[in-house]
Amino acid sequence: MSAVSIKKTLNGEIQTGTRVTIQGWVRTRRDSKAGFSFISVHDGSCFDPIQVVAPAELVNYEDTVQKITSGCSVICTGTLVESQGRGQTFEIQATDVHVCGWVDDPDTYPIQPKQHSFEFLRDVAHLRPRTNTFGAVTRVRHVTATAIHRYFHEHDFFWINTPIITAADAEGAGDMFRVSTLDLANLPRTDTGAIDFSQDFFGRETFLTVSGQLNIEGYCLALSNVYTFGPTFRAENSNTTRHLAEFWMIEPEIAFADLDDLADLAEDFLKYVFKAVLEECPKDMAFFAQRIEPTAIARLEALIEAPFVRLEYAEAIEILKSSGQKFEFKPEWGLDLQTEHERYLTEKHFSAPVVVKNYPTEIKAFYMRIADDRKTVAALDVLAPGIGEIIGGSQREERLDVLYQRMAKQGMDAETYSWYLDLRRYGTVPHAGFGLGFERLITYITGMANIRDVIPYPRVPGRANF
RNA sequence: UCCCCGGUAGCUCAGUUGGUUAGAGCGGGUGACUGUUAAUCACUAGGUCGUUGGUUCGAGUCCAUCCCGGGGAGCCA
C-alpha cells in the first residue's frame, strides 16, 4: 500500500473506513492505560498533525510504541475514522506502527512540544522546520513564490534567469562578494604590483550579483514584460531584522511604461499575491494571527481592498514637517527618508502602504530617469507598515545622451557599460522596473519579526552555519 | 560599523544590598491515572552560572577583557 499525505487524510478527500498508510515525524505521544497510545504525527503537507491511535494489542506495543518520543520518524497503517475524542475530525486506528528512525538521545533532542525562542531555533536551523512556525513559514513561502510566478505568467511576463556571477563592479547597490579561484596565499601580480585578475577564472574581476536589473533591461527591450526571481548577494555589514547577505529578489521590468505604470503594477501584483496566500494557506495564516502577529490576516485583507496611498516625495516631506512629531532626524527636502519617517507615514499618518514617488536626484542611482528640471528622478518606494521599504523601483533613463552625462558625472566608466548604453542606442523605449525583497514580503505576510526566520538557512555577517 | 540589552540544567526562565548545599516549569527516566490534546499526579536524574583575569575572608551577583546572541540605527530589498 502506498502512503498518503496527512493533508489528504484530514481534508475529507479520503472516505472514512479506508485503510491508509501515513509517514512522518512524531510531535507528541500520550499514553492511555485504557489500552492505547495517541501519537501525533506531522509530515509537513499541512499545518495539522494527524492523531494515530495505537492499541495495546499491537505486537510491538510495549517495546516500540511506548518508547516513541518527539522527533521519531514513523510509518503508520490503519483505518481512517472519525475521531472519538475532541480536538480533531479524523484519526487513524492503527494496525501497524513502524518506527523508521529513533531519536538517539531523547534527552537532548532540541525540538520539544513547547514554545522555543526563535534565537534558539536559529542554532538548530536544520531541525526547526519540524516546528509549527517554521512549517507554516515554509508553506507560505512556497505558496507566495508560486503565486508570484503565476501572476507574471498570467500577465504575459517572462521569467529571465539573469546571471549570478557578474563583472559589473558598481551597480550602485552596495558591497559585493568576490568570486575568484585565485590562490589567496599566493596571488598573481602585475608589473605594478596590483592583483592580476587576468589570471583569474574568468580572466577578469568577478562578483556575486547584487541585482539582475541591468541584465534584465536587455530582455525587457526585446520581450517587453520580463522579471527575475533569484538569489541576490550583498556584502554589507548590516545587522538588522530586515537584512540578509543572501536573499531572493523579484525584479520585474516593463517596456513602454512610465513610473505610474510601474506603481500600478506594484499595487496589482502585491494584492494578487496577498490574496493567493490568504486563499491557499488559511490554516497557516490563522496560526500566524493567533500566535505571531494578531493583525496578520486583517491587515492583508485591508490591503487587498483599499487603494494604495500615492504621494510625491515633496508631499511626504511636507507631511512630516507639519506633523508636529519629534524626529531624531529632521525631514528636509534633499535628504532621504529615515526609518522613523517611513514608519510615521505608513503606521501613523496613513495606516496603510504608501507609494512615495520622485525623489531628489542626488540621493538616487544613475540609471533613474531625470525630470526636466533635473531636481528629481522618477524613483518610487513602496513602504509597508511594520517593515518599511518593501519595494524600490524607477523609470529608467532611456535617453542615450542624458544617461551618458549622468554616468560621466558620477565618474563611471562608459566602456564597462557600453552594452548597457547600446540598449539606448538601438531602439530605446521608456521602461521601468522595481526590486522586491522576497523575504521582506514573507516577513510582512506572516508577521514574523526577524527576516532570519523566513529563509531556511540565513546568511548574515559573521554567520554562515549549516 | 555605532548605541543599548543579555549569556544560569536539553529548552524557557527565577536567583534579594556579595554570604551555608544554585531553584522552578517544560523535556528525559520510573511509577500511578486517564479517549488523551503542549494531558495530569508522584518520585528521580541532570549545572565548570559564556571566556580569561581582577577586587574580596567569600563572586551566579562587583570591575575589566574577549567571545557569542538579541534589539535599535546607518546602508538597503
Q: In the complex, which nucleotide's C1' lies nearest to the CA atom of residue A461?
A: B1
Gap from A240 CA to B60 C1', Å: 31
Taking the C-alpha atoms of residue A2 and residue A253, their distance in angstroms, rounded to an integer, is: 45
> Taking Cα atoms as reference points, which of A283, A222, A286, A284 lies closest to residue A254?
A222
Encode pLDDT of A289-317 as tens digits: 988 888 899 989 988 998 899 999 999 99
pLDDT in tens, A4-17: 999 999 998 999 99
Displacement of CA A80 from its chain's centroid (Å): 37
Task: Give pLDDT tens digits for A398-430.
Answer: 999 999 999 988 888 888 889 999 999 999 999
- Residue with smallest Cα–C1' gap to B70: A119
Q: Residue A429's pLDDT is what?
A: 97
Q: CA A51 – C1' B39 distance (Å)? A: 14
pLDDT tens, position by position, A36-59: 899 999 999 999 999 999 998 898
In whole angstroms, give the CA distance from residue A177 to residue A182: 14
Name the nucleotide nearest A437; use CA and C1'.
Answer: B77
Segment A430-462, tens digit of pLDDT = 999 999 999 999 999 999 989 999 999 999 988
pLDDT at A95 over 80: yes
Q: How many angstroms separate the CA atoms of A238 and A235, rounded?
A: 8
Q: For A286, what's the count of Cα atoms within 13 Å in the CB-facing half-sphere?
A: 8
Question: Distance from residue A443 (CA) to nucleotide B37 (C1'), in Å?
Answer: 30
Q: Which residue is nearest to nucleotide B34 (CA to C1')?
A: A32
* Three-state secondary-structure class, residue A51: strand
pLDDT digits (tens, 9 = 90+) for A101-128: 998 888 778 888 777 889 889 988 999 9
Q: Which residues pair with A54 in a beta bridge?
A: A37
Model confidence at A175: pLDDT above 90:
no
The C1' atom of B52 and the CA atom of A407 lie apart, in whole Å, by 54
Distance CA A367, CA A216 (A): 13
| Cα within 13 Å of Cα(A299), Cβ side | 18
Residues of chain A with pLDDT > 70, as a percent, come to 98
**Å: A55 CA to B22 C1':** 44
Residue A388: all three cell numbers together: 518599511
Can you give the pLDDT at residue A173? 57
pLDDT (tens digit per residue) in A312-343? 999 999 999 998 888 888 899 999 999 889 98
Q: How far is the CA of A55 from the C1' of B23 (A)?
A: 40
Coil, helix or strand at residue A67: helix
The nucleotide lying nearest A387 (C-alpha to C1') is: B77
pLDDT of A3 above 70 = yes
C-alpha to C-alpha distance for A417 and A189, rounded to whole angstroms: 26
User: Which nucleotide in the DNA or RNA is closest to residue A91, CA to C1'?
Assistant: B35
Is pLDDT at A2 greater than 60 in this prediction? yes
CA-to-C1' span, A110 to B70 (A) = 20
Return d(Cα A146, Cα A218) in angstroms, integer: 25
Parallel, antiparallel or unpaired: strands A36-42 and A50-55: antiparallel
Residue A466 CA and nucleotide B49 C1' are separated, in Å, by 29
What average pLDDT does the segment A236-243 reach?
A: 89
pLDDT band per the 50, 70, 90 thresholds, residue A222: very high
The partner residues of A359 in beta bridges, in order of sequence, read A377
Q: Tell me the nt nearest to A389, Cα to C1'.
A: B77
Task: Measure, in angstroms, how far nucleotide B11 C1' is from residue A10 CA.
Answer: 31
At residue A325, the pLDDT reads 84
Nearest residue, CA→C1' of B27: A112
- Overall pTM surpassing 0.90 (yes/no): yes
Q: Which nt sits closest to A434, CA to C1'? A: B77
pLDDT in tens, A195-218: 999 999 999 999 999 999 999 999
Percent of chain A at pLDDT > 90 equals: 68
Pairwise CA distance, residues A116 & A297, whole Å: 23
Residues 6+ away with beta carbon under 8 Å from A433: A213, A216, A217, A220, A251, A252, A253, A254, A262, A393, A394, A396
Q: Give the pLDDT band of residue A170 (cuts 50, 70, 90).
A: low
Look at residue A22 in the predicted model and tell me its pLDDT.
Answer: 95
**Alpha-carbon gap, residue A440 to A412, rounded angstroms:** 31
Q: Which nucleotides of B are covered by protein (CB under 7 A)?
A: 1-2, 10-13, 25-29, 32-39, 68-77
CA of A184 to C1' of B61 (A): 48
Nucleotide nearest to A103 (CA to C1'): B28
Give the C-alpha distances (Å, rounded to integers) separating A450 from A161, A242, A386: 28, 6, 11
* Residue A1 pLDDT grade (very low, low, confident, very high; cuts 50, 70, 90): low
Mean pLDDT within A173-198: 90
Nucleotide nearest to A462 (CA to C1'): B68
pLDDT of residue A133: 92
| Residue A28 cell numbers, joined | 507528541
Predicted confidence at residue A169, as pLDDT, reads: 59
C-alpha cell at A74: 514513523
Interatomic distance A107 CA / B48 C1' (Å): 21
Please provide the average confidence, as pLDDT, over all residues in chain A.
91
